[in-house]
């Protein structure tokens, strides 16, 4: 089938004129309503969740600073695939920030969707270390051979970790399946049918879900920065100044991991802290000896728990 012809210059001018005329008469109050909701939601978050916000911003900024400075330090001691993992981690920071701003604005489902991508970035970092023979298979491409990255398969079937939050996030990430099916159920209520419309509503349960998931990922990435993206600064002229930044990152990673390991509301989050400890033990073992059978080593680590 042939494509329609492109419009002429005169036709373009006429199209723009008609669109401009429509815009001048349009009602965009829906945008104003959403922006008013976002303003109120930011104030609510600042009042009720200020401690979380301050902590996340502190942790996030330390990773941004550290990932920037690492570019100018000696990385010769890094394992062969560490640079690839560093790029994956650093690129995920922008998504981390986007997910955070969406949460503050009250767009919980969209925040969860983006956090899911951040989570997959961490899983790709794991994949790179346990499959040193095909690290770039962490991302799909044509004509690949060897192991293929699959987020669900890696966690559930290979590592056998009970990270159920990921499956919960899928219900939001897959075309808003959770909300769509909820609407369909309510539409079936003949006594009180629901009106379907664009709505924004404060939801503390979803805020709790997002903040917990976000802090789990902050722990994972802080641990990665502290344990994997390390450098030798012994011969650097400004080593004393650099050491201060390294010490700060270390203290942030330690206290955030402690907070996850001693989570006082949910046992599952405490278990994920131990899971992360095991994962980084596995990564380091594989980096030290890429010829290891990672599955056998993983089994040894988990039996020692």
DSSP for 19-44, please give it: HHHHHHT---HHHHHHHHHHHHHHHH
For the chain, what's the residue count?
Answer: 305
Mean pLDDT in residue range 176-201: 64
If you average pLDDT over residues 41-60, what whole number do you get? 98
The percentage of the chain sitting over the pLDDT mark of 90, rounded to a whole number, equals 74
Tell me the C-alpha distance between 246 and 254, whole Å.
12
CB 282 within 8 A of CB 129: yes
Q: What is the mean pLDDT of the chain?
A: 89
Highest mean pLDDT: which range of 123-137, 171-185, 238-252: 123-137
Residues 273-287 have pLDDT tens digits of 999 999 999 999 999
- Does 190 have pLDDT greater than 70? no
pLDDT at residue 143 in the model: 82
Contact assessment for residue 216 and residue 165, using Cβ atoms and an 8 Å cutoff = yes
Q: Report residue 239's pLDDT band, with 50, 70 and 90 as the boundaries.
A: confident
Report residue 194's pLDDT band, with 50, 70 and 90 as the boundaries: low
Residue 186 is predicted with a pLDDT of 58
CA distance 213 to 117: 12
Q: Which residue has the higher pLDDT, 262 or 174?
A: 262
What are the residue boundaries of the structural domains of the chain, listed by start? Answer: 39-228+238-303
E strand segments, 56-103: none
pLDDT at 147: 92
Mean pLDDT of 235-243: 79
Q: What residue spans of 106-160 are helical by DSSP H?
A: 108-130, 151-152
Encoded tokens for 84:
């690839």
User: What does the block give as tokens for 292?
Assistant: 């290891």
Three-point CA angle 264, 113, 195, nearest 5° = 100
Backbone angles phi, psi at 10, to 5 degrees: -65, -40
Tokens matching residue 290: 């890429």
49 in helix, strand or coil?
Answer: coil
Are 83 and 54 contacting, i.e. CB atoms less than 8 angstroms apart?
Answer: no
pTM of the model: 0.87
Phi, psi of 276, rounded to the nearest 5 degrees: -65, -40
pLDDT band for 188, please (50, 70, 90 cuts): low
pLDDT band at residue 294 using 50, 70 and 90 as cut-offs: very high
Q: What is the pLDDT of residue 69?
A: 87
> What is the sign, positive or negative, of the torsion defined by CA atoms of 112, 117, 119, 120?
positive
pLDDT score, position 34: 96
CA gap 52, 61 in Å, rounded: 14
**Band (295; pLDDT cuts 50, 70, 90):** very high
State the pLDDT at residue 234. 75
Output the CA–CA distances (angstroms, integers) from residue 144 to 3, 157, 293, in the order listed: 35, 21, 21
pLDDT above 90: residue 117: yes
Predicted confidence band at 255 (pLDDT cuts at 50, 70, 90)?
Answer: very high
Q: Label residue 230 by pLDDT band (50, 70, 90).
A: confident
Q: Alpha-carbon distance 116 to 213, whole Å?
A: 9
- pLDDT at 162 exceeding the cut of 90: no
């Amino acid at each position: 089938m042939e494509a329609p012809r492109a419009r002429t210059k005169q036709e373009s001018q006429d199209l723009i004129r008609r669109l401009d005329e429509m815009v001048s008469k349009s009602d965009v109050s829906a945008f104003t309503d959403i922006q008013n909701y976002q303003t109120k939601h930011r104030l609510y978050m600042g009042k009720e969740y200020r401690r979380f916000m301050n902590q996340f911003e502190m942790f996030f900024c330390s990773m941004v600073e550290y990932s920037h400075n690492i570019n100018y330090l000696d990385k010769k001691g890094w394992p062969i695939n560490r640079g690839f993992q560093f790029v994956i981690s650093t690129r995920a920071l922008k998504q981390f920030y986007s997910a955070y701003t969406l949460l503050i604005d009250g767009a919980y489902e969209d925040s969860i969707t983006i956090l899911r991508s951040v989570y997959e970035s961490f899983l790709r970092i794991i994949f790179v270390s346990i499959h040193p023979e095909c690290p770039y298979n962490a991302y799909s491409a044509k004509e690949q051979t060897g192991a293929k990255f699959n987020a669900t398969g890696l966690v559930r079937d290979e590592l056998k970790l009970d990270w159920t939050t990921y499956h919960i996030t899928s219900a939001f990430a897959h075309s808003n399946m959770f909300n769509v099916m909820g609407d369909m159920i309510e539409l079936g209520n003949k006594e009180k049918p629901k009106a379907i419309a664009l709505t924004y509503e404060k939801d503390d349960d979803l805020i709790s879900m997002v903040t917990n998931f976000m802090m789990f990922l902050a722990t994972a990435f802080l641990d990665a920065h502290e344990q994997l993206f390390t450098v030798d600064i012994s011969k650097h002229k400004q080593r004393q100044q650099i050491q201060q930044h390294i010490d700060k990152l270390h203290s942030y990673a330690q206290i955030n991991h402690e907070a996850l390991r001693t989570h006082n509301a949910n046992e599952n989050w405490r278990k994920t802290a131990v899971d992360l400890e095991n994962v980084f033990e596995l990564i380091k073992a594989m980096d030290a000896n890429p010829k290891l059978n990672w599955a056998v080593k993983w089994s040894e680590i988990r039996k020692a728990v």
